[in-house]
Chains A and B, each alone.
Chain A
Amino acid sequence: MQIGIDVGATKIESVILEDNGEESHRSRIDCPRDYLKIIYTIKDIVNKLEKEFNKELSLGVCHPGTHSPQTGLVKNAPNCNWLEKKPFQSDLRKILNKEVFCENDANCFALSEAIDGSGKHYKIVYGIILGSGAGGGLVIDKKIVSGPNGVAGEWGHNQLPYLAAKKEKFDSNILRDAEIESFISGLSISKRFNKRFNKNLKTNEIFELNRKHDLDAEKFIDEFKLNLAMSLSTIINILDPDVFIFGGGVSNEIDFLNEIESMVKKFVIGKEYEGVFLKPKYGDASGVRGAARLGRKSIY
């Protein structure tokens, strides 16, 4: 029995997970967006759950960004700036007076799916999060690979492959504008579409228009497919994982994974590719389930 807590940009979600994967508790509250309030909210949740179940439970917390191995401070969490440069893990340990496992949310998503989700039969699982940003996590043999810089899975911060870049318009003086994330994340999709066609639509509305065969949206989404396929091919040429699992809001809108898979072939060395592209079994709940798995004692 383990507690998992997912600190997101808008909500804090918590579960209690049994070793067999059953959830005996789940709750969701708005995120207070203030560092100290978040710490105390987590303390309240944990105290309440431990009282309710009348025993001490192991605790895993997932959040955007990662703890720097040097400073112990959170880095790379631009969408949750109230966490940036804070000693989140050590503060939680102090206030709860127990071990707290902290981990990047995309890594927890991948871990959850690798342990008992869509990826459970595979050795090398690459979790892709296409939501407001573009991130991911790498799990090998049911263990998170975080690496010495804590950036495994940050494929979204490589540059969009050149072939695509030269067709797309961007201000190449700013390195960040040429990143994959600036082309295929949810935020960038709506921003680029609205600017180009002078509209004011949300990302899911653009995908909806595409399904209704709106010409502008169809053209735009076709480009999106190409950018996504090229970007995925960079992961394949370096790592060639056994399975890709697509989570996040934009992934939920994607009903053309097969098409992406066949497009990827063109950009992979040798022009031969057989991949496994899956949707997550636990969907948006995978992050918090993965967080609960951080304190696991069982071997999966």
Chain B
Amino acid sequence: MHIGIDLGGTKTECIIIDQNGKEIERIRKDTPKNYNGTLKIVCDLVDYLENKYKNKCSIGIGTPGSLSKETNLIKGANSIWLNEKPLKKDIEEKLNRKIYFENDANCFALSEAFDGAGNKHNIVFGVIIGTGVGGSLVINKKIINGFNNISGEWGHNQMTALPNDRWKNHNCYCGKIGCIETFLSGPGFSKHFFELYNENIDAKNIQLKANNGDENCLEFVYEYIDYLARGLSQIINIVDPDVIVLGGGVSNMKQIYENIQLQLKKYVFSDVVNTEILKNIYGDSSGVRGAASLGR
């Protein structure tokens, strides 16, 4: 059997699957926002499941960021308590075995490319718009990590700017200004809403209000989709994937799928845009399914 653990920014999710990929049990906990707590929760989950099912399993972990090739420390994670920490090595020492370790967006894209929304396509770009903005490229069902382990980090390119933009540029934790993540992540979404309408509500509730016909919220949601199209068009102009699968909390916004094609046309270097923009099939559990699949 295989255990997969997804260390999200707010939730830590864990599943155990059998040889055929069938889910046996799923556990969801709040993420401890410190390093030692993270190590502890991983070990506790593994101990609990292995004792319960009396089986030594393969362990796959999905995390934000990636391991530096030079130092083997985590880099580029928006769960900043993990940065500069030897997470893989520490977990392996505590569990006393080798584990599979992969970027969480890579796990998401792998799961969706394998048997999710992208299963009919060769080149799948998985996009996460949640607490952070990340992504991953899967070609022929294999994760492309890149020469420096940073493929898919489109969230830290700069957002395309237009003269009449209402949204402001913000500093990003990565040290640059105006990163795509500061526009498209859930927190970025509600921060810009606050700046424009002086109302402090989170991304989920803005969507709810938009669905119920609130004009400000609806206008804001359409603006968001325009920004999303600018970000995705950068990916299309560089890699031109067959399909882009969206995941993360903000991807539940139904207006995206109705309007994105029209907006993409403005920014992609092509008269017609054939790229399919799809919602994920496995929802929040795609990441954790992908993590468990690493050991299959």
Contact = CB atoms under 8 A, between A and B. Distances in A.
B147 A240 contact: yes
Contacts of B157: 161, 233-234, 237-238
User: How many A residues touch the partner, as a band?
Assistant: 35 or more
Interface string A151-186: 111110111011101000000110100100000000
A38 interface: no
A233 B176 CA distance: 12
B38 interface: no
B160 A238 contact: no
Given A70-B272, A147-B123, A148-B274, A172 B75 contact: no
Contacts of B176: 163, 267
Contacts of B241: 147
A36 interface: no
A149 B177 contact: no
A209 B151 CA distance: 38
B75 A272 contact: yes
A153 B269 CA distance: 10
B76 A145 contact: no
A154 B161 contact: no
Interface in B138-164: 139, 144-154, 156-163
Interface stretch (A2-10, A18-26, A27-35, A273-281): A273-281
A172 B162 contact: yes
Interface string A218-248: 0000000000000001111111111100000
Given A151-B237, A154-B237, A269-B153, A161 B158 contact: yes
A270 B153 CA distance: 10
A87 interface: no
B239 A163 contact: no
B175 interface: yes
B233 interface: yes
Contacts of A155: 237-238
Among all A-B residue pairs, the 3 with the closest Cβ atoms: A147-B240, A240-B146, A152-B240
22 contacts: A140-B139, A146-B240, A148-B240, A148-B242, A149-B236, A151-B237, A154-B269, A158-B234, A162-B177, A172-B163, A175-B267, A178-B161, A236-B150, A238-B137, A238-B154, A239-B146, A239-B238, A240-B149, A240-B151, A269-B153, A270-B68, A270-B148
Interface of B: 65-66, 68-70, 75-76, 123, 135, 137, 139, 144-154, 156-163, 169, 174-178, 233-242, 266-276
